[in-house]
């Protein structure tokens, strides 16, 4: 039986680790390569790097980070943040990323998904969606809207429609990131995650809001997610990767327990 995955997300700015809280304030919390090694040794199932570097001149720093991590960490490595073209995706792949996350640029120009899928394979394209809760309406039948630019720009697109469209265009996986829950540590957005997981056939990664082991349990069961993404929970030493996995395993969630 397939295991549920525990994924750690590392936000990287100018080559340093940062943790976003509701996407706005970020602060540096260390060396991404060192953290990646630590989590790998502790049984992490997959790593995501999100490049939040503001200036495009500093983008090569990220390629360096990816390259260093790929030399030492032998689990799937996913990278996103600022991917706007097939060339961006290919550069990251060559540096050692398995999967490429597309987000804002795909909302603006959806063909980016199919172009990347064609170039590097469906299964390697992850459509990352930032989503906020809105009033249910004709425009937003699901009651959720897609936002971009780290949550600042609402796009007038229904989240459920966008998820289905992304799957049709060739995305191999979805990240469902609730910007309402992100950084709150009050738990994932279960209703949203379950709704999208039921609507698509591709795997769904829940993101935003994890603060306690219970939250992971909830989203991997009630929330129907295939994987749970954590950040601050593990970055600040409140929990370790292996401890989270063990707790989930003890409660009957299928996890990879030997590494």
Q: Where do contacts with other proteins occur on this chain (CB under 8 A)? A: 1-5, 40, 45, 70-71, 74-76, 93-94, 96, 98, 120-124, 172-173, 201-203, 224, 226-227, 256-259
Catalytic choice (45, 51, 88, 130)? 130
Provide the 10 A C-beta neighbour count for residue 212: 16
Instruction: Write down the least CB distance from residue 117 to other proteins, Å.
Output: 11
Cβ closest to other proteins, residue 180 vs residue 226: 226
Catalytic choice (11, 45, 88, 91)? 11
Q: b vs e for 243-252, b when ≥16 Cβ sit within 10 Å of the residue's Cβ? A: ebbebbeeee
Cβ closest to other proteins, residue 143 vs residue 203: 203
d(CA 143, CA 150): 20
Cβ closest to other proteins, residue 15 vs residue 96: 96
Cβ closest to other proteins, residue 15 vs residue 76: 76
Q: Among this protein's residues, is 64 annotated catalytic?
A: no
d(CA 208, CA 196): 15
Instruction: Write down the least CB distance from residue 231 to other proteins, Å.
Output: 20
Instruction: Write down the least CB distance from residue 145 to other proteins, Å.
Output: 25
Q: Among this protein's residues, is 11 annotated catalytic?
A: yes
The DSSP string of 62-110 is HHHHHHHHHTT--S-EEEESS--SHHHHHHHHHHT-SEEEE-HHHHH-T
Q: What are the phi and psi torsion angles at 154 (to 5°)? A: -70, 140
Residue pair 228/205 in contact by the 8 Å Cβ criterion = yes
Instruction: Write down the least CB distance from residue 11 to other proteins, Å.
Output: 23
Catalytic residues: 11, 130
């Amino acid at each position: 039986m397939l295991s549920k995955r525990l994924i750690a997300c590392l936000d990287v700015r100018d080559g340093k680790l940062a943790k976003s809280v509701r996407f706005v304030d970020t602060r540096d919390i260390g060396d991404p390569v060192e953290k990646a090694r630590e989590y790998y040794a502790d049984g992490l199932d997959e790593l995501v790097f999100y490049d939040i570097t503001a200036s495009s001149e500093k983008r090569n720093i990220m390629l360096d980070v990816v390259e260093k991590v790929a030399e030492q960490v032998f689990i799937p490595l996913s990278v996103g943040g600022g991917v706007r073209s097939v060339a961006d995706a290919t550069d990251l792949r060559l540096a050692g990323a398995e999967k490429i996350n597309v987000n804002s640029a795909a909302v603006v120009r959806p063909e980016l998904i199919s172009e990347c899928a064609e170039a590097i394979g469906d299964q390697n394209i992850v459509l990352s969606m930032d989503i906020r809760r809105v009033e249910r309406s004709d425009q937003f039948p699901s009651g959720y809207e897609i936002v971009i630019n780290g949550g600042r720009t609402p796009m007038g697109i229904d989240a459920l429609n966008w998820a289905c469209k992304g799957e049709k265009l060739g995305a191999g996986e979805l990240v469902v990131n609730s910007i309402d829950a992100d950084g709150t540590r009050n738990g994932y957005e279960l209703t949203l995650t379950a709704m999208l997981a039921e609507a698509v056939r591709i795997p769904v990664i829940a993101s935003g809001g994890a603060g306690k082991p219970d939250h992971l349990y909830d989203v991997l069961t009630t929330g129907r997610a295939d994987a749970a993404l954590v950040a601050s929970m593990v970055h600040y030493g409140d929990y370790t990767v292996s401890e989270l996995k063990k707790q989930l395993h003890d409660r009957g969630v299928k996890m990879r327990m030997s590494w």
